[in-house]
Structure 1
Amino acid sequence: MKKVYEESSLEKCIKKACEEFSVNTEQLKFKVLDEKKYLFRKRVTVEIEFPDDIKVEGSKQDEENEEAENNNENLIIDENDGIVKIVDGKIVVKNPKENGSPASIAVSDSIKVLIDGEQVRGKKEVFEESKIEIFFEETKAQRQLKISLSDDAMEAYATIIYKPENIYKLKDISETTMAVLKAEVIKRNSPPRYNIEELKQELSNNNVVYGIIEENLKSCVENPCKNFVVARGQQVENGKNDFVEIKFNTDEDLKKLKEDKVGNIDFKSIGSVAAVEKGDLIGEIHSGDEGKDGCDVNGRIKKHKPGKKLKIKIGEGCTSSENLIFAAIAGKPCIKNNAFYVYPIHEVRSDVDLKTGNIKFMGDIIIYGSVKEGMKVECGNSLAIEKDVERANIRSNGDINVKGNVIAAEIFAGGEDVSKLKTIKDLESFKETLNNLISAVEEIKKFNLLGPDKKDGEIIKILIENKFKTFSRLCINVIADLNSQLNNYEEENLVKLIKTKLIGIAPISIEHHSILYKIVEAVEEKLIGFQNDLSIPVNIKLSYCQDSNVQSSGDVVISGKGEYISNIIANGSIYFMQERSVARGGKLNAKNEIKCRIVGSTAGVSTKLKVEKDGHIWIDEAYQNTVLLVGNREYVLDMPSRGLHAYLDSSGDIIVDKLKL
């Protein structure tokens, strides 16, 4: 059946047809009859063809025919009137008698009727001598096979539609004065069914060559189907990574820090743990698998992602057997940088004072008391102090965990790494300043700014004395840093260059400024050596510190009340964990970020927080006279604020987001 719609767009025509007859868009065929564009609007006329089982209603002529048919049911035929009837699909007409009315027929839109060669629509009178020709809609038997693929080409679907050819005749009607012509189907000629070979050929035409499901092909051709799966590819099986199962229990406090709401803290290594005995299982390596390539229905190979192989090192105090790792000695197990270790443990079950003397041990140390004034503790790995540290010196190559207070003490975590990190920082500043000096010299020479008689050495000395006034102090710092590392590095070359070419009146002896490039190369060589020699960053965790100097090659975590007039330096980040913990006075210096609860006081105590140029500073509450430094940019808070976030924008300016307290 067909019906014509006219709307402002094709989509609206189709939508109206679907809503009117409750059909899907896929069930319709359409043909654009006319499309007109006006200045402010557009009209589209579309002829839409509906499935055979849908009856198109609503045309004016059909309404009239239906009304006439209803009237015929109660019609009383006058004996003088003409009569029409339909017998075996043929129209039989009887002319009226004198003064009678002729019979008539009503033609619906679905039937084409010619009376005496003229097409008739609606109601028309007929007589015995009238030549009536009936034409029904011609529908040929059709079948349709469509193959579609999923977006990833891992499945192929078949849709099969059969449309029969319908043979019509006129529906019989008993004698009446007006007959409404209606078509009825007397025979349906179905198209031939697809066979499996035809379906396979269509799959081949669509380049579907892999994963064909024979059983589904058989089910598909037996009955009409829509988006029926007929081929399925082989899914990619990515490899599984090797992983290590740690068989010893780690400290729960350190685990909680990793998930704390303030931010994720990566300690780089497992912290303090319970001791193990010789022969205890401390780790098991679980092997993954290689994975398997996949293939889509078009036969294209989809590469898998192989699992990562884990390289585990067996360090001191451990042995291995196949995939199992055991403790070779009694002590404290840990894993650092994919290497298992078991360190011997030295336990001090009292205070560290004059009775115990200073403590120096290459493994782990656990002190169950306090470290008293004037005492010194040197630890080769991790150090745990259960109580306080009072005016003492604490140094450790591993993590330091002080559960009590730190008063007027010095605490260094990272061993030689702390001094190496300072050396690296000074060398990087020295290199940057040296490059700026070279650029300034070349610019002066290019434009002859100081006259043609000035030698390179004189230009360099003038620049150091006037533009780069801090350069001499930086040279002295670098020399001191390098001399402190003299046991491991031969510093004579770089130190000699700095002393003989850059300090005091030495620059005057420079004949050509290219010697500065040689110094830059020497600095870069030292930087690479120091950076390659750094160990894994270690962390300091303490409850409270006052008038103390705290330095770590990793993070510094304040778990208790906070800090007061202390100098805290972290090569990672600084975190204040407890609600309402306070940072009041002193300096906090971190590479990555600083997260504080309360900074300063209502009295305006000066507190400095500094991060590098890519770092961030976060503060819940801060008071006036709090100094925020990001890179070389500084911001001084002039009023109490909350929710502070300080950082550098893309142009290098310091941005401080805050709310009034």
Structure 2
Amino acid sequence: MENKDGIVYLENGNLTIINPEGLGRYPRITAGKNVEIYINGEKENKEVVVSQDIEELIELKIKQTNKSKELNIKVSRNKLKAYLLIDLIPEQKLEIKDKEPANHIKIETKSQKKVYPKISKTEILELLDYYNISYGINHDQISKIMTQKGNLNGEYLIAEGKKAKKGENAQVIKSEKYKQRDENLFNVIDSIEKGETICYKKKAVEGEYGMNIFSDRISPPPVKNIELKAGKNVQLTKDNLKAIALEGGQPKLIRRNGTVEVHIYKQYIIKGDVDKHTGNIKYEGDLLVKGDVKDYFNVEVGNDLKVQGNIANAEVKTQGDLYVNNNIIASKLFIGNYLEQEIIISLKKIIHYLEDLNKGVEEILGEASKRKMNLSNFRTGRVLRLLIENKFPELKTLILHVNKSIKSSEQLKKYFQEITPYFKNMANLERIKDEKILSNFKNNLLEFVDFNLEQNGVLNIYTGYIQNSEINIGGSVIINRLGCYNSTIRAKKSIIVKSKPGFLKGGSYQAEEVIFSQAAGSKLSKTYFRIGKQIFIKEALGTLVIKSEKDRKIIEEGSKNINYEVNNFGELVTAGTLPNINKYLLRDEN
């Protein structure tokens, strides 16, 4: 006899079984979704082997599903949107599906009809009320949901709040004539004439309140105001919104702690060179040199210096920007009040110690007065000496160290020269009758740190090429053409070589923010870099040594796309993006 597997099939809900022949395999059935198989009244949960002997004992039952409805609300994190979540399970009329003959079949159902639960607008509004949602309810959307039939499962935006509208910060806007200043760096004598408007203040515009879906007001971001102040040769209009020039000259806007101070500096013009015919130059305003600053002649200006030619073998100090149309060769430059980071930290420590010292003196003298003790035994000078020697010994060390370290700032030198004798010989402290001398010293340092260092951070040098020079600047060095060779540059902000063939070859370059150059390095010696934020060099022409506060990397000749940033731990790590140099290239102080 031939071996033949048995078969089973479904037709019109009736199960038919045909037994196997010979050694063939018996047919099998499995319950699908919504189906239960019973044999002789017992429910079977697994695959069942069937035969004609039990065909009459097999009962197939359909599990009818009951309709259900679940409505919920999802609120966005900013509380500006509410979504209706609909989850409906329809009631279904099911029947057994026909199955073709096979040795194994899965018994499944098919739906004749789905009847979904209905949703009313009242239900939705009550749900919103339950969640205390009262603002921005979209009744049109809710009505639209009501008109739809069938499967409404999904997510619907049914309430939306109103965002707070951002206001506009106050701005100081330069006059058109002032804006022309950068376009005529070496041609203009007085960029603003007497009586002209230098700039005006555009008032801040407050933002508008918003409302979230719970009817809570949302405050707009606060706007920043600016106070316009009149400086040298400037007068404000009665409404304090316009700055008018009282004299012709070069305008200067100085930003500080929410204020913009407007100055007019007189400009002095040297039509030729700074040389033996002019001698060394010292001028409080702007200086425009139509020629060169020649060998061994020094220039010191209180504002901007513009040199149409070169600076060579000279010492230059400015409290404003330096513009050199051509080159800087073998010169020393001090632009603004640049100080090493170590000195800045020391200044802040000295200020802190002086504040604590003052409190200590007041406490001791106050307590002695309360106890009606003989105050002659508590002379201010004696108390100061005892406190410094016993409680604040580092103050003496810091003051003597900073006094020796200051090189570029004449003003800071003056402050320390007045106070240092008291700390070189501590016996001198006992001659102090009150603490005003130390208080004045502290206030001077506070003003210096707060104003000079911060403000001079916007100063820049713009030049074509630098060679064999030393530069200390309270801002950035922008090299427009060839680059820099064998120089030492210390910049509070950045060092940027703009041109594509530009380079930094040999020497030492330190910037508290960014260093950027297409090429760097020399075959003759190592080139050193120290950065505070990021460095990008497209190609190393020689060995580069790159340092951060707590890391050091050696870059070999031929390396390309060198792009490091300093992480929160002071380590050098690969940067994901190029440094943003555009913000350093703008000449506009605003």
- Using the size of structure 1 for normalisation, the TM-score is 0.53
3-state SS of 1:242 partner: coil
Residue 384 in structure 1 maps to residue 319 in structure 2: no
Query: Do the aligned residues in 2 keep the contact of 1:581 with 1:597 (CA within 8 Å)?
Result: yes
Residue 328 in structure 1 maps to residue 245 in structure 2: yes
Cross-structure match for 1:231: 158
1:156-207 Cα offsets, whole Å, 9 max, x none, are: 3264869578799xxxxxxxxxxxxxx9999x99899654434433444455
Residue in structure 2 matching 1:212, options 122, 137, 149: 137
Query: Do the aligned residues in 2 keep the contact of 1:540 with 1:555 (CA within 8 Å)?
Result: yes
Cross-structure match for 1:370: 292
User: Shift of residue 398 of structure 1?
Assistant: 0.6
Cross-structure match for 1:602: 523
Cross-structure match for 2:586: none
| Separation of aligned partners in 1, 2:506 and 2:61 | 100
1:309 alignment partner AA = K
Residue 642 in structure 1 maps to residue 559 in structure 2: yes
- Using the size of structure 2 for normalisation, the TM-score is 0.58
Cross-structure match for 1:312: 227
Instruction: Please tell me the root mean square deviation across aligned C-alpha atoms, in Å.
Output: 6.1
| Separation of aligned partners in 1, 2:122 and 2:567 | 67
| Separation of aligned partners in 2, 1:580 and 1:381 | 32
| Separation of aligned partners in 2, 1:408 and 1:649 | 35
Relative to structure 1, is the Cα distance of residues 148 and 349 closer, same or farther in structure 2, using a 3 angstrom cutoff? same
Query: Do the aligned residues in 1 keep the contact of 2:228 with 2:262 (CA within 8 Å)?
Result: no
Query: Do the aligned residues in 2 keep the contact of 1:621 with 1:641 (CA within 8 Å)?
Result: yes
3-state SS of 2:452 partner: coil
2:163 alignment partner AA = V
3-state SS of 1:555 partner: strand
Query: Do the aligned residues in 2 keep the contact of 1:549 with 1:566 (CA within 8 Å)?
Result: yes
**Equivalences for 1:11-160 in 2 at 5 Å?**
61-62=9-10, 142=67, 144=69, 146-152=71-77, 154-157=81-84, 159=86
For structure 1, the residue ranges without an aligned partner over 5 or more in a row are 1-58, 69-108, 125-133, 169-182, 255-271, 435-459, 461-469, 507-519
User: Shift of residue 497 of structure 1?
Assistant: 1.8
| Separation of aligned partners in 1, 2:534 and 2:217 | 43
Relative to structure 1, is the Cα distance of residues 524 and 553 closer, same or farther in structure 2, using a 3 angstrom cutoff? same
2:160 alignment partner AA = G
3-state SS of 1:411 partner: strand
User: Shift of residue 549 of structure 1?
Assistant: 3.2
Residue 554 in structure 1 maps to residue 475 in structure 2: yes
User: Shift of residue 399 of structure 1?
Assistant: 0.7
Residue in structure 2 matching 1:275, options 178, 184, 191: 191
Query: Do the aligned residues in 2 keep the contact of 1:250 with 1:273 (CA within 8 Å)?
Result: no
| Separation of aligned partners in 2, 1:231 and 1:610 | 59
Query: Do the aligned residues in 2 keep the contact of 1:573 with 1:593 (CA within 8 Å)?
Result: yes
3-state SS of 1:289 partner: coil
| Separation of aligned partners in 2, 1:411 and 1:642 | 32
1:412-447 Cα offsets, whole Å, 9 max, x none, are: 211xx24x669935956998xx9xxxxxxxxxxxxx
| Separation of aligned partners in 2, 1:335 and 1:527 | 23
1:304 alignment partner AA = S
Relative to structure 1, is the Cα distance of residues 349 and 148 closer, same or farther in structure 2, using a 3 angstrom cutoff? same
1:146 alignment partner AA = L
| Separation of aligned partners in 1, 2:174 and 2:470 | 35
Relative to structure 1, is the Cα distance of residues 206 and 615 closer, same or farther in structure 2, using a 3 angstrom cutoff? closer
User: Shift of residue 397 of structure 1?
Assistant: 0.9
Relative to structure 1, is the Cα distance of residues 63 and 321 closer, same or farther in structure 2, using a 3 angstrom cutoff? farther
Cross-structure match for 2:27: none
1:555 alignment partner AA = S
| Separation of aligned partners in 1, 2:65 and 2:509 | 88
User: Shift of residue 404 of structure 1?
Assistant: 0.8
Instruction: Say which is worse superposed, 287-296 or 420-429, in terms of deviation.
Output: 420-429
| Separation of aligned partners in 2, 1:573 and 1:376 | 25
3-state SS of 2:122 partner: helix
3-state SS of 1:539 partner: strand
Residue in structure 2 matching 1:611, options 530, 538, 551: 530
Cross-structure match for 1:574: 495
Cross-structure match for 1:285: 202
For structure 2, the residue ranges without an aligned partner over 5 or more in a row are 1-6, 17-31, 42-49, 53-58, 96-108, 354-388, 390-396, 429-437, 576-590
| Separation of aligned partners in 2, 1:586 and 1:640 | 16
Relative to structure 1, is the Cα distance of residues 567 and 233 closer, same or farther in structure 2, using a 3 angstrom cutoff? closer
Cross-structure match for 2:580: none
1:332 alignment partner AA = Q
Greater gyration radius: 1
Residue 394 in structure 1 maps to residue 394 in structure 2: no
3-state SS of 1:497 partner: helix
Query: Do the aligned residues in 1 keep the contact of 2:460 with 2:475 (CA within 8 Å)?
Result: yes
| Separation of aligned partners in 2, 1:282 and 1:618 | 37
1:319 alignment partner AA = L
**Equivalences for 1:252-263 in 2 at 5 Å?**
none
Instruction: Say which is worse superposed, 643-652 or 340-349, in terms of deviation.
Output: 643-652
3-state SS of 1:237 partner: coil
Cross-structure match for 1:128: none
**Equivalences for 1:519-538 in 2 at 5 Å?**
528=446, 530-535=448-453, 536-537=455-456, 538=459
| Separation of aligned partners in 1, 2:497 and 2:322 | 16
Cross-structure match for 2:125: 200
Identity of aligned residues (%): 17
**Equivalences for 1:434-583 in 2 at 5 Å?**
474=401, 477=404, 485=412, 487=414, 489=415, 491-499=417-425, 528=446, 530-535=448-453, 536-537=455-456, 538-583=459-504
| Separation of aligned partners in 2, 1:475 and 1:361 | 28
3-state SS of 1:545 partner: strand
Query: Do the aligned residues in 1 keep the contact of 2:406 with 2:412 (CA within 8 Å)?
Result: no
Cross-structure match for 2:540: 621
Relative to structure 1, is the Cα distance of residues 558 and 230 closer, same or farther in structure 2, using a 3 angstrom cutoff? closer
Query: Do the aligned residues in 2 keep the contact of 1:141 with 1:191 (CA within 8 Å)?
Result: no
| Separation of aligned partners in 1, 2:117 and 2:511 | 81
